[in-house]
Amino acid sequence: MNYDRIIRAVLATMALVAVSGLALIAVFVFKEGLPIIFRVGGKEFFLSSDWHPSEGRFGILAMMAGSLMVTAGAMVIGVIFGLGCAIVITQFCPRGLAMVLKPAIELLAGIPSVVFGFMGVIILVPLIRGYLGGPGLSVLAASVVLGIMVLPTVTSISVDALQAVPRAYLEGSLALGATRWQTTHMVILRAAKSGILTAFILGMGRAIGETMAVIMVAGNSLALPRSLLDPVRTLTSNIALEMGYATGEHRQALFATGATLFAIIMVLNTIALMVSRRGARRYSKK
């Protein structure tokens, strides 16, 4: 009996099942959502912020803007602190402490999103309301909460990228008289930039797809946000809040919103995969 052939067949079947599941989800979401986009018109659907399902008006511009603003704010926070943690862990931290810090940061990924949202409502929202003004439930609050939530993704992938840089780069730079920080800044980070960019893109996909924590701290306003202190509703929040009672065209519009979100995340993941492969090919040539 050829066990290698059997194992390959089993693994290929498992991979096919996973891909088939993704394909079925994509077909179902787009099948349900595309008709309303064609009926309403792409310009009206994507470039209008007039969302009144009971009156047959479906414009998701305000929610797209809200998603982009919240995600951008989250990535500023997540990348600054996530990349900073990765640099400290790989370049400046004693080995014993690094073995504690990395798992501790990754442990954040196991905390339910509702816990982050609850802490945001109890602690962060009153601080924003008291010191910066506004209702507190805002783009800023959602960005901070999501920034903390993407820390494990950004930190973990950045650590792997920095550790993948050949040791000879570090030793050669130090031998030429560069300081440890100069070596990190001018050599290590540049050599690992494709992996760091991958961490950024995957963290962005994680942030733009988050629902529960955003619902709790963003304010869920359908108005187009004008500042970081304005309440906002994201694409994911809109689906979660209205799918329970939506029917007819309203339901189709929510599926179209999901299709839009699906397409955005797929594009981000594809870019991350392309960047990662390009970096792998570059290192293999060296």
pTM of the model: 0.86
How much is the mean pLDDT over the chain? 88
DSSP 225: P
pLDDT of residue 280: 58
pLDDT by residue (tens digit) across 128-157?
Answer: 999 998 899 999 999 999 999 999 999 999
Look-up of token digits 């070596």? 183
Residue 53 maps to a domain: no
Q: Above 60 in pLDDT, residue 285?
A: no
pLDDT confidence of 1, banded at 50, 70, 90? low
- Contact at 8 Å (CB) between 109 and 153? yes
CA dihedral 82, 87, 90, 93 (to 10 degrees): -100
Measured in whole angstroms, how far is the alpha carbon of residue 201 from the centre of its chain?
Answer: 7
| Higher per-residue pLDDT: 3 or 180 | 180
d(CA 147, CA 140) in angstroms, rounded, equals: 10
Average pLDDT of the segment spanning 28-50: 90
Strands (E), 137-238: none
Residue 202 maps to a domain: yes
CA distances from 35 to 6, 46, 248, 252, 256 (A): 44, 14, 12, 8, 8
pLDDT of residue 134: 87
Residue 14 maps to a domain: no
Total structural domains within the chain: 1
Residue 41 maps to a domain: no
Q: What are 58's strand-pairing partners? A: 51
H or E element: which one contains 95?
helix 95-106
Residue 20 maps to a domain: no
User: What is the domain range of residue 278?
Assistant: 61-285
Residue 18 maps to a domain: no
pLDDT of residue 282: 62
CATH of the domain at 267: 1.10.3720.10
Q: Above 90 in pLDDT, residue 232?
A: yes
Residue 250 maps to a domain: yes
d(CA 279, CA 286) in angstroms, rounded, equals: 11
pLDDT by residue (tens digit) across 76-122?
Answer: 999 899 999 999 999 888 888 888 888 888 888 888 999 999 999 99
H or E element: which one contains 184?
none
d(CA 37, CA 49) in angstroms, rounded, equals: 14
Residue 16 maps to a domain: no
Least confident of 33-47, 182-196, 202-216, 266-280: 266-280
What phi and psi, each to the nearest 5 degrees, are found at residue 57?
-115, 125
Tokens of 242: 């209205």
H or E element: which one contains 219?
none
Tokens of 133: 């003004």
d(CA 149, CA 234) in angstroms, rounded, equals: 16
